[in-house]
Amino acid sequence: MDARLNYFADPAVGKVLKHFMTVGKALKDLPLPATTQELVALRVSQINGCAVCLDMHTKEATAAGETPVRLHLVAAWREATVFTEAERAALRLAEEGTRVADGAGGVGDEVWADAAKHYDEGQLTALVLLISFMNTVNRLNIITRQPAGDYVAGQFH
């Protein structure tokens, strides 16, 4: 499959996307465990069907030491016993933050309160930024049919 657009073919667009990807790198430095970041990125990308991001974040999580069992169970996290309560709260927030149009009310108070039990304000901010960023990146990739499979862990670091 060929991508519909090469984002970096136009220097002006490439410049914007370079800054945008800098945001993605900066998110890694926020006060949220790397494992949680990768699990959230995977779940958002699963919901949206973004193959590029699934490829990237599966490989990044594996390189960071995440286990295959946990990676395979992200899509079924509710029934899986391998996630902490904090990770489950982050995954729930990621789902509601991604499916805002499905649940006309956005993120529910119960979901937010559960996340707030496990994460401080800085970590909640990091979660919100990560969820929003992943949804944007997913859309950039899906709209233009960016191909997946060739990502190498650490490629953008």
pLDDT digits (tens, 9 = 90+) for 12-62: 888 888 888 899 889 989 999 999 999 999 999 999 999 999 999 999 999
> What's this model's pTM, rounded to 2 decimal places?
0.90
CB 19 within 8 A of CB 154: no
State residue 66 phi and psi, 5-degree precision.
-65, 145
pLDDT at 116 over 90: yes
Q: Residue 5: which pLDDT band, with cuts at 50, 70 and 90?
A: confident
Residue-wise pLDDT tens digits, 122-147: 999 999 999 999 999 999 999 988 88
Share of the chain above pLDDT 90, in %: 67
Q: How far apart are CA 41 and CA 55, in angstroms?
A: 11
Degrees to nearest 5, angle at CA 44 with 39 and 45: 95
How high is the mean pLDDT of the chain? 90
Task: Name the CATH topology of 11-143.
Answer: AhpD-like (1.20.1290)
